[in-house]
């Protein structure tokens, strides 16, 4: 199946961005890990990062025409601000998993609220880059169960 992996603002800086919080892997390294895992599981993955809310929204809008079965999204700071990304995900009706590298609940109060979590299939927080791997495993399990 086709899976879309979206990363929001400032995640292009991974590797050098607050490594104590976000680790030292670059986004490219994380995306390579996801691509390899997806290939091994027999899925195709498209990875997209943007610092612009409208670009993320437009990718979400394109997802149905690309036959996207699932979305894995780290909306970064838009998690805490974006009704528009929530509405886009609900608008296309594609199930999604929300991923955060850091444990947002152990951080500032303004990171405690997510505009997506109540609509997500699941949420992974605080497990670093492995969170994307666990999300993809969960997607694989769900798609396999749906196919049988």
* Interface contacts to ligand DQA, rule CB under 6 A: 10, 74, 76-77, 79, 100-102, 104, 111
Neighbours of 113 (CB within 10 A): 11
Task: Output 2 or 111, the one with its CB closest to ligand DQA.
Answer: 111
Task: Select which of 2, 61, 100, 140 is catalytic.
Answer: 100
22 is catalytic: yes
Pick the catalytic residue: 22, 43, 132, 140? 22
On whether 80 is known to bind a ligand per the annotation, the reply is: yes
Residue 50 or 102 having the CB closest to ligand DQA: 102
- What's the residue count for the chain? 148
Give the distance from CA 147 to its chain's centroid.
Answer: 23
CB 9 within 8 A of CB 76: yes
Q: Of 1 and 14, which CB lies nearer to ligand DQA in the complex structure?
A: 14
Catalytic residue list contains 132? no
Beta bridge partners of 21: none
- E strands, the chain, are 2-7, 44-49, 68-74, 96-100, 122-125
- Nearest distance from C-beta of residue 98 to ligand DQA, angstroms: 9
**Beta carbon of residue 92, minimum distance to ligand DQA (angstroms, whole number):** 21
Around Cβ 83, how many Cβ atoms within 10 Å? 9
* Least distance CB 83 / ligand DQA (angstroms): 16
Residue 72 exposed, middle or buried by CB count within 10 Å (0-12, 13-18, 19+): buried
Binding site for substrate: which residues?
74, 80, 87, 101-102, 111
List, by residue number, the catalytic residues.
Answer: 22, 100
């Amino acid at each position: 199946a086709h899976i879309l992996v979206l990363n929001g603002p400032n995640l292009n800086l991974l590797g050098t961005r607050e490594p104590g919080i976000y680790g030292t892997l670059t986004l490219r390294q994380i995306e390579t890990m996801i691509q390899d895992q997806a290939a091994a599981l027999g899925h195709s993955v498209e990875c997209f990062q943007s610092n612009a809310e409208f670009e993320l929204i437009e990718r979400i809008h394109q997802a149905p025409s690309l036959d996207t079965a699932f979305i894995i999204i780290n909306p970064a700071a838009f998690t805490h601000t974006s009704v528009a990304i929530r509405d886009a995900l609900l608008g296309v009706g594609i199930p999604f998993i929300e991923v955060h590298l850091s444990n947002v609940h152990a951080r500032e109060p303004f990171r405690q609220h997510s505009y997506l979590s109540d609509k997500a299939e699941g949420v992974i927080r605080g497990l670093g880059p492995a969170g994307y791997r666990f999300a993809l495993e969960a997607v694989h399990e769900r798609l396999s169960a749906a196919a049988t």
